[in-house]
Amino acid sequence: MLIPIAQGTEEMEVVIIIDILRRAKLLVKVAGENEIVTCAHGLKIIPDKLIDNIDDDEFYDALIIPGGLEGVNNLRNNEYFIDILKRHNRKEIFIGAICAAPLILSSAKILKSNHKITSHPSIREQLSSFEITEDAVVIDENIITSKGAGTALEFSLKIVELLINLETAQNISKSICFTSNE
């Protein structure tokens, strides 16, 4: 599982996603644009590897992109990352995007016009060519999207459910005392 981060990534989203996926015993690699990434609210994260060090033949079970508009824009402008994203999508590997991250999927032409998605309300106008819902988490084909930091737990647990099973997701949810809004 690959989680890309860049300067300005929303720290709540990246940390919650990493934590929940690792609780599920999934192998998570954090790839950053720099050796130290400063997130949207000042938290510094040391990635496992640099995005530029991902080989062309290196594939992951899933690629999960946290939001934070500055981080999203930095990833969106990183041609090397966009190539990684497109290679994973061509193999129909599971791709997750939360908050503003669906903008990356849009600009990389990963989303089709009939894709059902959700995103942070502040960027919905930029995604108006897709079917946008108010749901906290939306799955359409190999793409899963979510609204933002407040839905990061639900998003992460849904990823666990899809990649492992519902029972594992429920056990993690119970162990962290999380109750979904649904």
Residues assigned a catalytic role: 13, 99, 120
Q: Measured in Å, how far apart are the chain's first and last C-alpha atoms?
A: 27
Residue 28 in contact with residue 91, Cβ under 8 Å? no
Residue 95 in contact with residue 39, Cβ under 8 Å? no
Buried b (16+ CB within 10 A) or exposed e, 69-93: bbbbbbbbebeebbebbebbbeeeb
